[in-house]
Amino acid sequence: MNGPLTGDMHELSIAMSIIELAQEESERRRVQVSAVHLKLGALSGVVKEALLGSFEMACEDTSLKGARLVIEELPVLIFCTACGAQRPITSVQLFCCADCGTPSGDIVQGKELEVVALEVEEWDRSPV
């Protein structure tokens, strides 16, 4: 189904997408998922705490029950033309190079919402 998921905050529907993605991998590779590693950019529009809570709740009745969600938060990086390099910004309220102060909207990191890895155990060896 491509249809929209339900939920009164979008972290819940995102948690369900993460679970769906992990389940697909788990069935394809015939493994049990014990943890999902996620990269979360500061501009992804997703709140870490809300996502952790939603994930735990949404896992309940699935094969991922008890799996952990490990979130790596990524700060915003911009390309600074003055420095000629990637740089952090002063703050998300001020998109200026943290080193030299030049404004830049050229975002090179910070929008990620990506499952990067799964911690898994083999299916056939797990106790029945």
Partner 1 sequence: MGSQPRLIEVRKNVLKQNDLIARVLRQQFRAAGVFVVSLVSSPGSGKTMFLEKTLTRLRQSYRVAALVGDLATENDAVRLGRSQAPVKQITTGTLCHLEAAMVQKALEGWDLNQLDFLFVENVGNLVCPSSYDLGENLRLVLLSVTEGEDKPLKYPTIFNSADVAVVTKMDLASAVEFDWQAAYGNVQAVRPGMQVLKLSARSGEGMGDCLDFLQKRLHESRVATHLSTVSATP
Which residues of this chain interact with partner 1, rule CB under 8 A? Answer: 2-10, 13-14, 17-18, 21, 25, 29, 31, 34-35, 37-38, 43-46, 92-96, 103-105, 107, 111, 113-122, 125-127
| Shortest distance, position 61 Cβ to partner 1, whole Å | 19
* Bridge partners, 33 (sequence order): 120
| Shortest distance, position 121 Cβ to partner 1, whole Å | 5
d(CA 13, CA 41): 17
DSSP of 22-37: HHHHHHHHTEEEEEEE
| Shortest distance, position 11 Cβ to partner 1, whole Å | 9
User: Which residue, 60 or 116, has its beta carbon nearer to partner 1?
Assistant: 116
End-to-end Cα spacing for the chain? 31
